[in-house]
Amino acid sequence: MSQKSNIHFDISERKVLLRLLDISSVLGLLYVVGLIFHFDYFRIDATRWVWSIVLALYLSIFATIFELYNLQKAAKFEVVVQNIILTSSVTVLFYLLTPFYTPELPGNRLQIIYFFLSINIALFVWRYAYIVLISAPRFFKKVLLITDSDSVLPILEALQKSDPNYKILGFVNIDKKQKPEGLPEELLLFSTEDIAAIVNEQSISEIVVATPQSQPMTLDVNTQLVSLLESGVPIREYTQVYEEITHRIPVQYVEQDFYRYFPFSRSNQNKLYLFFHRVLDLLFSVIGLLFGLAIFPFILLGNIVGNRGPVFYTQTRVGKNGKHFNIYKLRSMVVNAEAAGAQFASKKDTRVTKFGRFLRRSRFDEIPQFINVIKGDMSVIGPRPERPVFVKELSKKIPFYEVRHLVKPGVTGWAQVNAKYGMTQEDALEKLQYDLYYIKRRSLFLDISIVIKTLSTIIFFRGQ
């Protein structure tokens, strides 16, 4: 069987492409500007190679913070324009403020303007080309889904929401029911009779199998898939694809096979990693508390005007291995907010004061938690600590919920920077998926990613 060629880029390939060409386009244009104009501030040659490395490093860090590598946003030019301006402005500012590793300030200050404009123009031109060419439908990854009629809609929503270039073209319905309602009209429905013909005619790039345990795959379908695999067609299991694209663990699909599927990160027992993790916890906590002391007069004034009551409050939370501890926070709700009993906070919760809303969105309300980190109750990075009443309730409804207590809870974490504030059981499930991904993939690199995403959350005022 000859499969039609279909060019596409995976998530990791697109992120690497964006990062490399961001740096290459900026350095390339600066090199051309240096050749054509009398531009002495920034030169690219053998004697000044450190300048280029520092610029590339700053550009990569701040482009990550300002979400230039968020694939959903990278496909929207109006969002990219805003993020490019933010990235280039902060990059240039830091570049100018570190003269030990960068050029000394030029006598002609106009050269700084040329430097700033060159970075912006290079990024604008390249990112526009990316949107027009690489984000175009011709580079979509065409996927054929093999599943039952009940599972197709949640799978479709989860995968295409996370990666706009991951195009599920159609699905093979193994339970042979009619096409369920609520699906996009363009989603094709296929029978199980000749999957090879479907792959060839539709130029399918990948087959994803998501068969529930209650609806096992038939011998005929399995035989066809083995033949396709031998022909070179990529075939993957849904939970693996879900984890790769969404960076979450789909516990609702893993069921009783969870512990066989879920090897915990070696970092959880790596003494060297845990040592450096603790050192960084203490370092970040000291910096965070010093920052808190610096802004405390403004917090105190805001509390007097907008909160009218105690500045701090404590609350019992569940920590590592299910141990309870008292968490410290700046109060953001009215006094006696839970007189009627414990309840999840909602998006527009009337119990949150005006000043409290600012504290939450800026994440300033969590600064006192650095005291918990120093005491050892928490870490800077980890799952969000929940209240015992909610843990007891959610553990009964959500599989493997208590697995999140294998590590210390965190001031910030993978779930906190990716998921919305937990208001319902569905939100708690989504957060658990992120938490388990962190426990499974825990590493220094992932910790750094979370710190960078936390800075992005603070800068864009996305706390809740």
Q: Which has the minimum average pLDDT: 179-183, 412-416, 437-441, 445-449?
A: 179-183
Residue the block writes with tokens 């500012």? 93
154/28: higher pLDDT: 28
What tens digit of pLDDT does each residue of 296-349 get?
999 999 988 888 888 998 999 999 999 999 999 998 888 776 656 666 666 666
pLDDT band, residue 461 (cuts 50/70/90): low
- Listed in sequence order, the residues at least 6 apart from 407 whose beta carbon sits closer than 8 Å to its beta carbon are 268, 320, 379, 382, 383, 438, 439, 442
pLDDT score at 66: 86
Residue the block writes with tokens 């709700």? 333
Q: What is the mean pLDDT of residues 409-436?
A: 85
Highest mean pLDDT among 64-78, 232-246, 362-376: 362-376
What is the separation, in whole angstroms, between the first and last Cα of the chain?
A: 53
Highest mean pLDDT among 36-40, 289-293, 300-304: 289-293
pLDDT score at 158: 79
Nearest to 213 by CA among 143, 151, 145, 144: 151
CA 179, chain centre distance (Å): 33
Decide if 404 contacts 435 (C-beta within 8 A): yes
What tens digit of pLDDT does each residue of 181-224 get?
778 888 888 888 889 999 999 888 899 998 776 566 788 888 99
Residue the block writes with tokens 């051309």? 32
Please list the residues that pair with 208 across neighbouring strands.
145, 236
Mean pLDDT of the chain: 84
Q: Which has the minimum average pLDDT: 5-9, 331-335, 402-406?
A: 5-9
For residue 333, what is the DSSP state? B
pLDDT score at 2: 47
What tens digit of pLDDT does each residue of 42-70 get?
888 778 888 899 999 999 999 988 888 88
pLDDT score at 338: 67
Q: How far is CA 300 from CA 321, 327, 356, 363, in A?
A: 36, 20, 12, 16
pLDDT score at 101: 81
Taking domain 140-246, whether its CATH number is 2.40.128.630 is answered by no
Residue the block writes with tokens 């195009």? 167
- Listed in sequence order, the residues at least 6 apart from 293 whose beta carbon sits closer than 8 Å to its beta carbon are none
Does the structure show a pLDDT above 50 at 1? no
For residue 314, what is the DSSP state? E
Domain boundaries, the chain: 11-134, 140-246, 266-336+344-459
